[in-house]
């Protein structure tokens, strides 16, 4: 399995593209005007074949541009643009927008934009790696910070950190962006938003959903685990300290992580504020879980999932997840005619979306959603 530390799609492309069994296809490309990005697309599609690696690498090394071999983005790939919008109650909310890169491939088809929705206390930085990969593949990618997270304003009333209010904030962002058709990639809470959005957006608008370690049934033991740490240890002296805290609290969920992976995760969850490292969410968010009544029946979310049976669904499941069970994944597959499952080894709740294996699965899933220009 590819180590988590190999992060950038351009630097690790030969780990993603395991090669073809029919090496004559590859040899036919040699010496022709075949770009690295075309090879990337071809290799991703045929990732299931495992023979002929040496032949594939020889051709890639002879055809790939230097920037592909050194791990930089193609020249047409740009940094994300930060944008803001106003909520109905006057908060300034923030998001980031990655413009699609020119890939040099089929220009008669348009890649579907992807809207990324983070987890409960997380922010848009969680999607940096997957966004850069999809951007390089020709997708526009948008990631949102909910109120009280990331660069969005905090709410003076913690009760407004509720799914229905956040859903209205998301709708306002989509209206601002003018997206006529999009796919949603929702991590944890973001996937709950995707379920609720099935009532607002038909398949002609929200064309597909990627659930990152979330489903219609949530294991309560995971909620209790998250509630026990949410809002605690908000400030640290260094990123090293944040990384150590994360390893202590969720280390069992990510047994394959090395020290540099914990440091990278720390950089996604916290940032420097006047010389002190602070977690990028309002600690009052913890009241949302503290107010849960264990005796109250859990809401039945399966009818919302059934509303999505008219569009494709990809379920990303962390092997060690304590929130999304294998039984729930099985039921999601059984009750949806066009659902796929991708289990991420060595990770729990929620998969970090850094590694090439996950990128390839998401790209292959989105490939079916291309539309003619």
Domains along the chain? 13-70 (no CATH), 81-231+281-372 (3.40.50.1820)
Structure tokens at 74: 């193609």
Q: For residue 297, what pLDDT is reported?
A: 76
Read off the pTM.
Answer: 0.80
From its phi and psi, is residue 324 left (phi > 0), alpha (psi between -120 and 50) or beta? beta
Percent of the chain at pLDDT > 70 equals 76
Q: Has residue 54 got a pLDDT over 50?
A: no
Q: Are 266 and 239 in contact (CB under 8 A)?
A: yes
Q: Has residue 65 got a pLDDT over 50?
A: no
Mean pLDDT over all residues of the chain? 83
The pLDDT tens digits of the residues spanning 334-369 come to 999 999 999 999 999 999 999 999 999 999 999 988
* Distance in angstroms (rounded) separating the CA atoms of residues 68 and 76: 13
The pLDDT tens digits of the residues spanning 279-336 come to 999 999 999 998 777 667 788 999 999 999 999 999 999 999 999 999 999 999 999 9
Kindly report the number of other CB atoms within 10 A of residue 348's CB atom: 22
Handedness of CA 72, 78, 82, 83 (dihedral sign): negative
Q: Are 55 and 19 in contact (CB under 8 A)?
A: yes
C-alpha of 102 from chain center: 22
Structure tokens at 263: 């440091």
């Amino acid at each position: 399995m590819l180590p988590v530390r190999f992060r950038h799609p351009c630097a690790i492309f030969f780990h993603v593209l395991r090669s073809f069994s029919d090496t004559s296809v590859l040899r036919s490309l040699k010496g022709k005007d075949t770009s690295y990005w075309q090879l990337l697309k071809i290799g991703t599609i045929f990732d299931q074949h495992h023979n002929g690696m040496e032949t594939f690498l020889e051709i890639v090394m002879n055809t790939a541009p230097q920037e592909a071999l050194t791990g930089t983005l193609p020249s047409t790939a740009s940094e994300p643009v930060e944008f803001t919008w106003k909520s109905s109650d006057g908060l300034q909310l923030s998001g980031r927008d990655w413009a699609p890169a020119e890939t040099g491939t089929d220009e008669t088809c348009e890649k579907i934009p992807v809207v990324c929705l983070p987890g409960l206390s997380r922010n848009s930085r969680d999607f940096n790696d997957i966004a850069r990969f999809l951007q390089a593949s020709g997708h526009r990618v948008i990631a949102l910070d909910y109120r009280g997270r990331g660069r969005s304003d905090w709410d003076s009333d913690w009760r407004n950190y509720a799914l229905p209010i956040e859903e209205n904030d998301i709708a306002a962002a989509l209206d601002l962006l003018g997206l006529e058709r999009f796919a949603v990639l929702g991590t944890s809470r973001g996937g709950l938003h995707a379920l609720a959005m099935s009532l607002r957006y038909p398949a002609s608008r929200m064309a597909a959903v990627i659930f990152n370690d979330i489903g219609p049934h949530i294991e309560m033991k995971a909620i209790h685990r998250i509630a026990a740490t949410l809002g605690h240890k908000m400030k640290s002296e260094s990123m090293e300290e944040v990384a150590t805290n994360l390893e202590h609290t969720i280390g069992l969920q990510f047994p394959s992580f090395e020290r540099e992976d914990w440091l990278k995760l720390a950089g996604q969850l916290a940032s420097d504020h006047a010389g002190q490292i602070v977690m990028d969410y309002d600690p009052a968010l913890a009241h949302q879980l503290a107010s849960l009544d264990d005796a109250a029946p859990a809401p039945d979310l399966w009818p919302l999932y059934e509303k999505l049976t008219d569009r494709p669904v990809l379920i990303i499941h962390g092997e060690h997840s304590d929130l999304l069970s294998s039984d729930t994944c099985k039921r999601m597959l059984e009750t949806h005619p066009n659902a796929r499952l991708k289990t991420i080894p060595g990770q729990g709740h929620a998969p970090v979306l850094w590694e090439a294996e996950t990128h390839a699965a998401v790209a292959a899933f989105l490939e079916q959603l291309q539309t003619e220009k």
